[in-house]
Amino acid sequence: MSVVPIKKAPEPTIRRLPDYYHYLKWMQSNGREVVSCTHIARDLDLDPTQVRKDLAVTGIRGKPKVGYLVTPLIESIENFLGWNNLTDAFLVGAGSLGTALLGYQGFKQYGLNIVAAFDKDKRKIGKKIHGKEVLPLDKLPGLAERMHILIGVISVPAESAQAAADVMVEGGIRAIWNFAPVSLDLPEDMVVQNENLASSLAVLSRQLAEAVK
């Protein structure tokens, strides 16, 4: 009965939004001021109607014969994805993957700011990685609560992932970006995204097998 301000969009659409975003940023840096779905579709190898529907979920409206104004469209996507303001996050697992994630500056562009790293390995604790100190894992709940951290990144081996997730839940974290290849057992109201390099590789392998058969 209540008005729902955030209507749910299809996941495939949300997944394509960053592609549009990068494309539009590119257009913008080239001085382009307007762009139509037809062109976006051609360049990104998609269906024009699909592009139109995808962009529509962000609330933007285009003009017939012209298309969309690039800058407002970018803002609309940023706003829809919450990429216009930084959200602080904690990372657990300062191994090679964790180190790479800590060093990747690009996340800021996507509204994610990893402010601290945690590990249970005493040899790693105290070290600085890309300017961020590695803290003992048992400090996470207290700090997360105090700093109102909402997002956690898990980059530990599969066998430690559930424990890392539990600590995050304890600290009041609401969303987990999980790079470990396991499915986490979490309370209903938690949000999870499993980042699965294996999945993409699976699709690639399969398509390659079909292509060279």
Partner DNA sequence: TTTCAATCGAGAAATATTTATCGATAAGAA
Partner DNA sequence: TTCTTATCGATAAATATTTCTCGATTGAAA
Distance of closest approach, residue 65 Cβ to DNA, in angstroms: 3
Whole-angstrom CA distances from 62 to 9, 23, 55 are 19, 17, 9
Q: Which of residues 25-44 bind DNA (CB under 7 A)?
A: 36-39
Q: Whole-number minimum distance, CB 77 to DNA, in Å?
A: 14
Beta bridge partners of 153: 91, 177
160 vs 87: CA distance, rounded Å: 25
> Of the two residues 65 and 148, which places its CB atom closer to its own copies in the complex?
148
Please report, as a single letter, which amino acid is at residue 121.
Answer: D
Q: Which of DNA, its own copies, none does residue 56 bind to, with CB < 5 to 8 Å depending on kind?
A: DNA
Contact set for DNA, span 81-140 (CB under 7 A): none
Nearest distance from residue 64's CB to its own copies, in Å? 26
64-83: contacts with DNA (CB under 7 A): 64-68
Tell me whether residue 70 or residue 91 sits nearer to DNA (CB atom): 70
Rg (C-alpha) for the chain, rounded Å, is 20
18 part of the interface to DNA, by CB under 7 A: no
Q: Which does 128 bind (CB under 5 to 8 A by kind): its own copies, DNA, none?
A: none
Binding residues for DNA, total number by CB under 7 A:
26
Interacting residues toward its own copies by CB under 8 A? 5-6, 8-9, 11, 14-19, 21-23, 26, 43-45, 80-83, 87, 96-97, 99-100, 103-104, 106-107, 110-112, 150-151, 158, 174-175, 177, 181-183, 189, 191, 193-213
What CA–CA distance (Å, rounded) separates 170 from 62? 45
Whether 37 contacts 48, CB under 8 Å = yes
Residues of the shown chain interacting with DNA in the complex, contacts defined by CB under 7 A: 10-13, 36-39, 46-50, 52-53, 55-56, 60-68
